[in-house]
Amino acid sequence: MKLWGGRFSKNTDELMDDFNSSIHFDSRMYRQDILGSAAHVKMLGTTGIIPQSDADLIYKTLFEILDDIENGKIEFEVSAEDIHMNIETILISRIGDVGKRLHTGRSRNDQVALDIRMYLKDECVKIKDKLKTLLLTLIKLSEENLDTIMPGYTHLQRAQPITLAHHLMAYFQMFRRDIERLDDCVKRINIMPLGSGALAGTTYPLDRQMVASELKFDAISENSLDSVSDRDFAIELASCLSIVMMHLSRFSEEIILWCTSEFSFIELDDAYSTGSSIMPQKKNPDVAELVRGKTGRVYGSLISLLTMMKGLPLAYNKDMQEDKEAIFNAIDTVNLCLPIFTKMLDTMRIKKDNMKNSAKGGFTNATDMADYLVKKGIPFRDAHEIIGRMVSYCLDKNISIDNLSMDEFKSFSSLIEEDVYTAICLETCVNERKTPGGPSKISVMSQIDNGRVFINSLKA
């Protein structure tokens, strides 16, 4: 018989059991469910709402059940619907009537809200940790590539010379913000809903604060209706995770481009590449492509959650059971993508010469050539026009600006002198860009220093 079977005169259809049940996806919250129940029953005993000896027996048995689950000794039942009723059913089967006191002053509505919050808190710690490993890898690669000149792009057209370190540290900033966003999201996950009952609290003198501190929550929720019907925190997390994936996906796109023979900036390690079943020469960047592809799932989770919630009247509605697969899928995807992406980066071979040659070939020093004339007294707009003509001349001759002879330079402006060659060499172009945030070695080194301070500020 169902735990809620009292008012029913017949059993549910088997189809109904399958349809209604969430055990095949919410069983992963077994640990949180048991810890939540343990805190609840401890409070029920302490406050005298149920006899202390009953509370003690329930508490002890809950942990025995936890052990048995972890040792694979328990199979959950679809007919018991969800993880909450599965565990309660097992408890009652072990200690009989005493076990029936556990659910005093509680509803599955506040119970499930508690479990998800606990589960998401735990997962955020893991994801943050993986982001931290990625940040450390970016710092390491940046330090190794402070002098690796490459073209910076706008519109995917070669624009101005930068270094690979500068480029990688741009991603550092994105993933750093992702960690900060997660931290902020956790502030709102970290609110304890138990004690809200089905929707309208309870007449028992529950000590909600005690449960909150037992379970290491920052505070208790303020309004019982909101507590059981709020899934903002899951939506917010899905949004944070979508942004993580968006960053990984942009980075993946660049990795994929850089691996092409047209760019040939990097070669991925064999351990993180695949071949073709027909074309013997192929080496494909599947990791980056899958990360880019899986981004869609996480966005999908966010949209599912938003759509699932948009028409729900207060308070709990069964629609909300759909929250779990969506947010779990987003979490699983991010947990899967981050470590392999980090390893792929860590092991890639960087073809420094190709990067530099590409920067040389693409007139990436044209702005510096214009700036050179400005420093000789020519207004920037006029300098821009002169160098535009110079580039057009070079394109016709298929050479780069620094290949021009002194006579050729003079034909564009008599102000150009021998010092032009050092002024427009790529190393000067990069290292004279000393503005904070720029690509010069000095500036990138200070970005790395600040990055380290951030990483050290993260709790271990």
Q: Which of 9, 155, 261, 392 is catalytic?
A: 155
For the question of residue 384 being annotated catalytic, the response is no
Closest distance to ligand ARG from the beta carbon of 20 (Å): 9
Exposure b/e, 50-87, CB count within 10 A at least 16 = b: beeebbebbbebbeebbeebeeeebebeebbbbbbbbb
In the complex with ligand ARG, which residue's Cβ is closer, 129 or 325? 325
Element (H, E) at 157: strand 157-163
For the question of residue 276 being annotated catalytic, the response is yes
In the complex with ligand ARG, which residue's Cβ is closer, 103 or 294? 103
Peptide bond into 288 cis (omega under 30): no
Long-range interactions of 85-90: CB distance < 8 A, separation 24+: 85/2, 85/3, 86/23, 86/27, 87/30, 87/33, 87/34, 87/37, 87/62, 88/3, 88/37, 89/3, 90/65
Tokens 């077994």 identify what position?
30
Q: SS3 for 267?
A: strand
In the complex with ligand ARG, which residue's Cβ is closer, 22 or 364? 22
In the complex with ligand ARG, which residue's Cβ is closer, 266 or 320? 320
**Of 450, 401, 395, 396, the residue nearest 429 (C-alpha):** 401
Closest distance to ligand ARG from the beta carbon of 11 (Å): 17
Q: Which amino acid is at 165?
A: A
In the complex with ligand ARG, which residue's Cβ is closer, 127 or 320? 320
In the complex with ligand ARG, which residue's Cβ is closer, 167 or 324? 324
d(CA 453, CA 457): 6
Q: SS3 for 203?
A: coil
Residue 73 has phi, psi (to 5 degrees) of -90, 0
Closest distance to ligand ARG from the beta carbon of 318 (Å): 6
Closest distance to ligand ARG from the beta carbon of 110 (Å): 9
Exposure b/e, 367-377, CB count within 10 A at least 16 = b: bbbbbbbeeee
Closest distance to ligand ARG from the beta carbon of 3 (Å): 11
List residues binding ligand ARG (CB under 6 A): 22, 26, 82, 108-109, 112, 316, 318, 320-321
Instruction: Report how far apart, in Å, the C-alpha atoms of 365 and of each of 390, 410, 421, 440 are.
Output: 12, 18, 11, 14
Closest distance to ligand ARG from the beta carbon of 80 (Å): 11
In the complex with ligand ARG, which residue's Cβ is closer, 2 or 352? 2
Closest distance to ligand ARG from the beta carbon of 326 (Å): 12
Annotate 213-230 with DSSP letters as a single string. Answer: HHTT-SEE-S-HHHHHH-
d(CA 405, CA 392): 16
d(CA 117, CA 10): 35
Q: Which of 24, 53, 276, 446 is catalytic?
A: 276
Mind telling me the catalytic residues?
A: 155, 276
